[in-house]
Chains A and B, each alone.
Chain A
Amino acid sequence: NAGVTQTPKFRILKIGQSMTLQCTQDMNHNYMYWYRQDPGMGLKLIYYSVGAGITDKGEVPNGYNVSRSTTEDFPLRLELAAPSQTSVYFCASSYPGFDSNTGELFFGEGSRLTVL
């Protein structure tokens, strides 16, 4: 199994450009997440999804959009990129935990985005 795969690994964007970060998982996990991590900082939740067709906002959703048309894929769209979106983006997935608890999150290797 590949686990969680993110593409691209690195990207440089100009201000105002748009792009999509791809995330796919082959573990048949219901739950998927997008986080961003600024240098030396913790992880901030952008969006998450509890299943195909269902998405919800996290802590820092502004400037981003997501969709979840299949169980496997959870792309993150950046519209009108800004320097403040320079960050490392991590996608994660999990199965439902026992007794309504959170399942273990499996992370992709990250996508490093620079907006100039």
Chain B
Amino acid sequence: GQQVMQIPQYQHVQEGEDFTTYCNSSTTLSNIQWYKQRPGGHPVFLIQLVKSGEVKKQKRLTFQFGEAKKNSSLHITATQTTDVGTYFCAGPWGGYQKVTFGIGTKLQVIP
């Protein structure tokens, strides 16, 4: 069955508003990754989280890995039009090195 759920699937925000996407796993993970795909482009790696409760920041982006290593989130503060795209979580749900992806959250930013 479905091992990962990513929500929401779509999000429209006004420029300057915050945005959060969540990735929920039915199993404990060794690590989780986040990718961004711009319209018409290919996925680009953003970050990897490995430790329980880990929080990492990249400028306006904050990534969290849950204490149980089953959930993760990506938060963008004060969105900009350059943040438009689809954000995917990815992890070894199928086994070591068998990297599969969540369905993604498509972010639209209204200027």
Contact = CB atoms under 8 A, between A and B. Distances in A.
Interface in A62-101: 90, 92, 94, 96-101
B99 interface: yes
* Chain B at the A interface: SS class: loop
A35 B15 CA distance: 32
Of listed B31, B33, B45, B99, residue having the most chain A CB within 10 A? B99
B91 A107 contact: no
B101 A43 contact: yes
Contacts of A2: none
B66 interface: no
Nearest to B90: A105
B16 to A, nearest CB: 26
Contacts of B98: 45, 48, 56, 58
Q: What band does the interface of chain A fall in when counting residues whose beta carbon is under 8 Å from B?
A: 20 to 34
Contacts of A97: 31, 48
Contacts of A58: 94, 98, 100
Interface string B34-66: 010000011111001010000000000000000
Interface of B: 6, 30-31, 33, 35, 41-45, 48, 50, 88, 90-92, 94, 96-104, 106
Given A48-B97, A58-B94, 5 more contacts: A40-B106, A42-B102, A48-B99, A58-B98, A92-B43
